[in-house]
A = this chain, B = another copy of it.
């Protein structure tokens, strides 16, 4: 956590939870001044855009406590430490929505909120889907819905889809499928 003239002077662990850790860091800025930085550590996650043979995207709706509402999202899952993102994506696609993909395309990997967190999200397009049997975790209460990709983008525009990985995933999938992002 050092670089570009920034130096970590002191790290205080404020909280160690199951999902996040919170650090309060004191850093030296490039101009010599000191500043505090709040850092939320997270193990990272994967998100999958499953597109079936009819061009429909498989989405899940689930209640997200932190936001106070139910969100329509692409299937996703948290990485465990040292887990390989693609294996996690394969497992979570089957567990959450009951699909196996014959073809995976890595779309992008990004920090969800680099201003305060190191959470990294790995985004895949999942094609050539075969149906299997879902087995959601016991505290996941999911509804599954399939919508045409073009309609899903309209839902983004209308504010009915409002999750970063889903917005990025749908837009990159659309560009990829028309050969504009390969």
Residue of B nearest to A37 (CB): B65
Mark each residue of chain A from 138 to 163: 1 if its CB lies under 8 Å from any CB of chain B, else 0: 01010000000000010011010111
User: Is A14 located at the chain interface by the 8 A CB criterion?
Assistant: yes
Count this chain's copies in the assembly: 2
Give chain B residues whose Cβ lies under 8 Å from the Cβ of A180. 153, 174
- The segment from A26-34, A50-58, A83-91, A125-133 that touches chain B is A26-34
Mark each residue of chain A from 109 to 122: 1 if its CB lies under 8 Å from any CB of chain B, else 0: 11111111111110
Give the interface SS of chain A, mostly helix, strand, loop or mixed.
mixed
Interface size of A as a range: 35 or more
Give chain B residues whose Cβ lies under 8 Å from the Cβ of A33. 139
User: Is A20 located at the chain interface by the 8 A CB criterion?
Assistant: yes
CA distance A172 to B17 in the complex (A): 35
B68, A109: Cβ atoms closer than 8 Å: no
Binding site for B on A (CB under 8 A): 1-6, 8, 14-15, 17-20, 22, 24-25, 27, 29-30, 33, 35-40, 42, 45, 63-71, 73, 76, 78, 108-121, 139, 141, 153, 156-157, 159, 161-168, 171-172, 174-175, 180-182
